[in-house]
Amino acid sequence: MKFILLFWLLIPSISFTENFLANSNKLFDFAEKSYPQFFNSAETKTIALNGYLARYYPDTDIYIGTKDFDVYVYGNVFNGLLKAGVIADFVALEPDGDDLLAKLFNEGQSNVQVYGTGTVISLLADDLNGDRHQRFIIELKSGQTLLISHNIDLAPRIDGLSLNDQIEFFGEYEWNDKGGVIHWTHHDPDGIHTHGWLFHNNAIYQ
């Protein structure tokens, strides 16, 4: 089958980044665009399922998923579960966000969508003025710190968040003199703003 043969082509890979959810979404979008006969989108959401990130397509009864940057497909047409390669075989991996975030901070820029991964270094009280926000500070590998302001009226709270936990994020950067703030880490119910998310302990918060 043409699709399976493509999945087994050896394409020179590049080094992995920590943006696991970002890169998984990029892979899934590629599959939907390139092979709609298998992965017919219809706004299919990425879910965390038994240690995988996956999308399910009920019209074809097919899953596509990733685990530790490996790519899998599952369905009768694939004779069950098939390991198809690694994410970097099919799409260029999202670069580490540290350089972009440093540039935005140094230049005082705001209102920019960014990916990144950091370590929780401080847990703060919720902001209860207006929409409620869960707040915590992360540190990037570069040493830059970011305040994550996560709207818990529109997205689930990250329960059990602890110091030294790893957080992957996709949201909007706003400058401040302490490193910056990331907000819009949730879906937009009006469908106008780019949907954001947080990824923690293999769970997606959006």
Q: With beta carbons less than 8 A apart as the criterion, state whether 51 and 66 touch.
A: no
Tokens of 170: 């996709």
β-pair type (145-151, 181-183):
parallel
Tally DSSP H helices, then E strands, for the chain.
3, 12
Supply the pLDDT for residue 190: 86
Q: With beta carbons less than 8 A apart as the criterion, state whether 183 and 171 touch.
A: yes
β-pair type (166-174, 70-75):
unpaired
**Residues of the chain falling short of pLDDT 70:** 1-17, 42
Supply the pLDDT for residue 96: 81
- Is 98-205 a domain of CATH 3.50.50.60? no
Domain residues of the chain, as ranges? 11-89, 98-205
Supply the pLDDT for residue 103: 97
What's the Cα-to-Cα distance from 57 to each of 32, 39, 61, rounded to whole Å?
Answer: 10, 6, 6
d(CA 184, CA 170): 8
Supply the pLDDT for residue 6: 39
Tens-digit pLDDT profile for residues 134-157: 999 999 999 999 999 999 999 999
Residue 84: closest CA among 14, 20, 28, 5: 5
Backbone angles phi, psi at 3, to 5 degrees: -60, -45
Residue 144: closest CA among 173, 118, 107, 114: 118
Supply the pLDDT for residue 13: 33
Supply the pLDDT for residue 70: 97
